Amino acid sequence: MGNDDVQRCRESEVSDMSTKVFLLVSAAMLICASVFAMCGVCGSGTENKGEAKSMFLHVANEVVMKNGAKKITYEQFMSIRSSGEKYTLFDVLSPDSYNKGHIEGAISFPIDTMNKVTIEKRLSKEDHIIVYCGSFKCTASTEAAKKLSALSYNVLDYKGGLKEWQEKGNRLVPNN
């Protein structure tokens, strides 16, 4: 093997090594970018505008519209509640039921009083709304969610309602 052959061999080895290093570095960068994108390190872009991520919208995007309403679990309701984020909580049962006991922070808005005019007087399209009624068997909150959704409001239906709320160890607040 002559000097020229040895030189070509070395150049080929260096070229192969450079290619391998380039591919390894590229793969590592791709993996890092994927991990950052999946875990949200890079964010959604809203942080630059000074806006906090919305737990309400996160939950709303998690759940699927079913029969005209986005139904949430107790755990999802509590994650929104504990986030400190502003939302409107409507008890859609009768005024008598509301007065006997409701979830703290709830506002009475009986389903039979909900129509386009009364809704538009109380809410803006930017409001985040959660409705509830008596229990999983009660349909009032689902009907309210359907009415609000049909008018393009951001609404979630806490299906467990008063019954589940109490079963989880929470108390109802009477309206004195």
Q: Where are the domains of the chain?
A: 1-42, 55-167
Confidence at residue 91, expressed as pLDDT on a 0 to 100 scale: 97
Sign of CA dihedral 135, 147, 73, 173: negative
Confidence at residue 19, expressed as pLDDT on a 0 to 100 scale: 63
* 55-167 is a CATH 1.10.3080.10 domain: no
Burial of 72 (0-12, 13-18, 19+ CB in 10 A): buried
Q: Which residue has the tokens 């703290």?
A: 104
Question: What is the reported pTM?
Answer: 0.69
Confidence at residue 66, expressed as pLDDT on a 0 to 100 scale: 84
State how beta strands 128-132 and 107-108 pair.
Answer: unpaired
Cα 68 to Cα 34: distance, rounded to the nearest angstrom = 35
Q: How high is the mean pLDDT in each 10-residue block of the chain (176 residues)?
A: 54 58 53 45 38 81 87 95 95 97 97 96 95 96 96 96 97 90
Specify whether the CB–CB gap between 81 and 156 falls below 8 A. Answer: no
Specify whether the CB–CB gap between 133 and 145 falls below 8 A. Answer: no
